[in-house]
């Protein structure tokens, strides 16, 4: 016989008294919620019981008194019997707070996202819960989010548009999960639109001169990393984790073991430019095993070290607004301008589809398409006059394009018939032409 799989625990209603119950720690436990129409409230109490918010109570030994029919609006309030109709040993469960919603969201995220991503979630939500966690979840409004986003921050700098958008998306996602798991009936942010993100693809692009200045300002250990990013267009995190065993020298590729689309079942390989392959060979001669791109201490670059090194480097180069990810944007922009197909550019960059290209590099496609259309309009319906403007002895003739005049269509004349017939009277009427 196969293994017996137990049913998932959930609230259930007892028909004889109309009360919602559940099985908790092997014992039947009353949720103190009555009526099939209050299933959502029973789920709320059930979640609070699992999270340890409510004390564990023994089931009632005797059948509770029947619930009176609702003769006034005070019989059932928000799906819970008010204190006026409860027995003296019953207590009202506390309302779901903002802290409850955020804690449930972070617990769910802990099992499905990477540790770095979870730290980002906590960086947004934990300080917000410390300020507004006591508020009932249903009373949180977009004004609370705007006031918090506009308020002072511990690092002194105000949030950018994209940071504000990311924070709101995290709060909205937490409430969406609460509704999906029936911790809340509905989200107060239902129907609220999140402002669109701003693509920094066009602003972050490096020119050749700017990248040369950046490399000149970089140290001997940081410069190889910048050059590798410029030649391959890979992510900085991917380059910092390249190990000697990950390089397939014969195929000129790097097999990336930890990458952004791994959870989607995708494989990631970085095709190497000949100069990038030569760079890795020189680094492999110095470090035959382990990470190839290392800092001055001989350790692989981590996220904080990359941020600090880039900040010092760009300040020395006089490029205070440039980011390391702009090197990747520059690679993609140049590839699209050179006419490389979108699917191939997406594969080189490690995207699972071309959606990211459309989002961040649409300015390149629009610019190229507009120029092509402009050229077609300039040369539309024109023919070259190769003899015009060339005198004898000038060598090769320079074609001069002359617009040909369009012929004027002939005027059309219309002749009236000699007689006209009145369709109402049947009389014949002359046209006055003397006929």
More confident residue, 389 or 53: 53
Q: Which two tokens stand for residue 237?
A: 């995190």
Which pLDDT score is estimated for 414?
A: 41
DSSP, residue by residue, 369-387: HHHHHHHHHHTTT-EEETT
Which pLDDT score is estimated for 172?
A: 93
Which pLDDT score is estimated for 201?
A: 54
The one-character DSSP state at 295 is: -
Q: What is the pLDDT of residues 313-364, one digit of tens each?
A: 989 988 877 888 888 888 888 888 888 888 888 888 887 776 666 666 655 6
Q: E strands within 323-382?
A: none
- The 10 Å Cβ neighbour count of residue 240 is 20
The pLDDT-based confidence of 262 (bands split at 50, 70, 90) is low
The one-character DSSP state at 339 is: T
More confident residue, 196 or 230: 230
Cβ neighbors of 90 (< 8 A, separation 6 or more) are 32, 81
For residues 215 and 227, the answer to whether their CB atoms sit within 8 Å is: yes
Q: Hey, is 303 helix, strand or coil?
A: helix
More confident residue, 159 or 389: 159
The pLDDT-based confidence of 433 (bands split at 50, 70, 90) is very low
Where along the chain do its domains lie? 7-89, 98-180, 208-366
Which pLDDT score is estimated for 368?
A: 58
Q: Which stretch of 22-31, 184-193, 269-278 has the lowest confidence by average pLDDT?
A: 22-31
For the domain spanning 208-366, the CATH number is 1.10.443.10
Instruction: Report which secondary-structure segment, H or E, holds 34.
Output: strand 27-34
Q: What is the pLDDT of residues 403-426, one digit of tens each?
A: 444 444 444 444 444 454 454 445
Which pLDDT score is estimated for 259?
A: 61
- pLDDT(373) > 50: yes
For residues 232 and 271, the answer to whether their CB atoms sit within 8 Å is: yes
Percentage of residues of the chain with pLDDT beyond 70: 65
- What is the end-to-end Cα distance of the chain in Å, rounded? 112
Alpha-carbon span 79 to 33, nearest angstrom: 7
Per residue in 365-386, is it b (16+ CB within 10 Å) or e — as a string?
A: eeeeeeeeeeeeeeeeeeeeee
């Amino acid at each position: 016989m196969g293994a017996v799989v137990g049913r998932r625990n959930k609230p259930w209603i007892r028909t004889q008294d109309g009360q919602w119950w559940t099985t908790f720690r092997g014992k039947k436990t009353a949720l103190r919620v009555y009526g099939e129409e209050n299933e959502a409230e029973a789920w709320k109490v059930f979640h609070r019981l699992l999270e340890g918010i409510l004390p564990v109570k023994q089931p009632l030994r005797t059948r509770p008194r029947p619930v009176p029919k609702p003769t006034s609006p005070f019989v059932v309030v928000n799906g819970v019997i008010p204190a006026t109709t409860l027995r003296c040993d019953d207590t009202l469960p506390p309302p779901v707070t903002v802290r409850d919603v955020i804690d449930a969201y972070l617990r769910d995220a802990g099992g499905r996202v990477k540790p770095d991503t979870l730290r980002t979630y906590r960086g947004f939500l934990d300080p917000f819960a410390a300020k507004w966690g006591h508020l009932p979840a249903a009373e949180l409004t977009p004004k609370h989010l705007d006031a918090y986003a506009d308020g002072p921050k511990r690092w002194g700098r105000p949030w950018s548009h994209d940071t504000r958008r990311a924070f709101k998306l995290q709060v909205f996602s937490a409430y969406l999960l609460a509704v999906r798991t029936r911790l809340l009936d509905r989200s107060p942010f239902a129907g609220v639109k999140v402002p669109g993100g701003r693509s920094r693809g066009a602003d972050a692009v490096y020119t050749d001169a700017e990248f040369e200045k950046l490399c000149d300002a970089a140290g001997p250990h940081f410069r190889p990393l910048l050059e590798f990013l410029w030649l391959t267009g890979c992510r900085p995190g991917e380059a910092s984790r390249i190990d000697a065993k990950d390089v397939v020298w014969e195929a000129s590729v790097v097999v990336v073991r930890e990458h952004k689309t791994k959870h989607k079942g995708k494989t990631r390989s970085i095709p190497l430019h000949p100069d990038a392959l030569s760079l890795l060979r020189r680094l492999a001669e110095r470090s035959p095993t382990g990470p190839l791109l290392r800092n001055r201490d001989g350790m692989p670059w981590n996220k904080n070290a990359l941020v600090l090194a880039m900040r010092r480097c760009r300040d020395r180069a006089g490029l205070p607004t440039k980011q390391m990810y702009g090197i990747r944007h520059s690679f993609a922009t140049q590839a699209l301008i050179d006419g490389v197909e979108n699917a191939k550019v997406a594969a080189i960059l490690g995207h699972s589809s071309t959606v990211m290209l459309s989002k961040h590099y649409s300015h390149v496609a629009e610019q190229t398409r507009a120029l092509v259309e402009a050229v077609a309009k300039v040369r539309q319906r024109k023919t070259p006059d190769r003899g015009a403007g060339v005198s004898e002895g000038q060598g090769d003739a320079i074609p001069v394009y002359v617009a040909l005049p369009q012929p004027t269509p002939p005027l059309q004349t219309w002749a009236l018939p000699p007689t006209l017939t009145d369709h109402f009277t049947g009389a014949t009427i002359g046209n006055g032409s003397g006929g």
